[in-house]
Copies of this chain bind each other. A is one copy, B any other.
Amino acid sequence: MSLVVVGSVAYDAVETPHGKIDRMLGGACTYIALSASFFTKCRIVGIVGEDFAKEDAAFLHSRNIDLEGLERVPGKTFFWSGVYSHDMNDRETLKTDLNVFASFNPKLPVSYKSQPYLMLGNIQPDLQRGVREQMNGVRFVGGDTMNYWITGFRPQLLATIAEWDFLLINDSEARLLSGEHNLRKAADVIHGMGPKTLVIKRGEYGAILFRRDPKLGDSHFIVPGYLLETVFDPTGAGDCFAGGFVGYLAESGFDLATGHIHPKELRRAVIYGSVMGSFCCEQFGTERFRTLTRKEVDGRFNEFREFTEF
């Protein structure tokens, strides 16, 4: 039983107030899988060029991530560079070279098709739908999207998320998708589009889980963000949130026989998502995941309990 993760595998160059890195492993698929790998077996689907380093493949492999679905083709790997503002609340993209990612058309290895869990990183909605259609035993599916697809590919996106169990987006995306500024109203509209589990990410302020349950009705759960002493580099934090969320559910929260998720497990999944997002910010890129242990992950989960209980 494992989690299939689809999305970009990239090299990034970032500059934050704490320093500058010219080239580091990145991409939504990378971050999601690394984060989820602390909870469950992951199998990734992506595309890279001839420049994809052996050491990076080895790092993913060391986290027990299946790379069979990582296509290698002539050309260069997707490259993105950006610079963060002093308070880290804004970032400016300096360069986006799609390279081989421009021709990404995910094809799933046979061994992936019967897996029960699918997390679709932020890519063109038709591609996300195509992956979903290749899976024959999927029980729990969802993903991420972004403003570009919400405004420019709306019909395709709506057809795609209509089949999703969960959607993870940030607050501005939720407002754009729903046409509602108020997040309760936005969640109501988005539930009607398909996903009965909606996580709205609010950056440093945490996240809100909105759930529409056929028996229990509508409910929500709010978690504040973890207060880091230093935010070193927020690149990938949202994807690591997604990886922790779906990884935890794949590990222990989802009953494959009945398809049931206990509401408390969904809440815990949101906490594990927050935990993984916070660790991601502690070092540049994916660096923190080289040394992170499950004990540290669970320790921070307990910290969330300590600073929110009353």
Contact = CB atoms under 8 A, between A and B. Distances in A.
Given A222-B227, A229-B185, A264 B310 contact: yes
Contacts of A267: 309-310
A183 interface: yes
A216 to B, nearest CB: 12
B183 A227 contact: yes
Contacts of A181: 86-87
A222 B307 contact: yes
A179 to B, nearest CB: 14
Contacts of A183: 227
A227 B208 contact: yes
A202 B203 CA distance: 14
6 contacts: A87-B181, A182-B231, A184-B227, A202-B205, A205-B205, A267-B309
A51 to B, nearest CB: 37
Protomer copies: 2
A221 interface: yes
A305 interface: yes
A47 interface: no
Given A205-B206, A205-B224, A222-B227, 11 more contacts: A86-B181, A184-B228, A205-B205, A206-B224, A208-B224, A208-B227, A219-B307, A221-B310, A222-B308, A224-B224, A270-B310
A220 B229 contact: no
Contact of A224 (B223, B227, B304): B223
Contacts of A223: 224, 308, 310
A181 B220 CA distance: 31
A220 B227 CA distance: 9
Contacts of A268: 310
Contacts of A93: none
A241 to B, nearest CB: 15
Nearest to A181: B87
A230 interface: yes
Interface string A214-254: 00000111111001111100000000000000000000000
Interface hub of A184, A264, A267, A310 (most chain B Cβ within 10 A): A310
Contacts of A28: none
B307 A308 contact: no
A271 interface: yes
Nearest to A175: B87
A48 B148 CA distance: 54
A305 B310 CA distance: 8
Given A202-B205, A205-B202, A208-B227, A220 B307 contact: yes
Nearest to A210: B227
Nearest to A205: B205
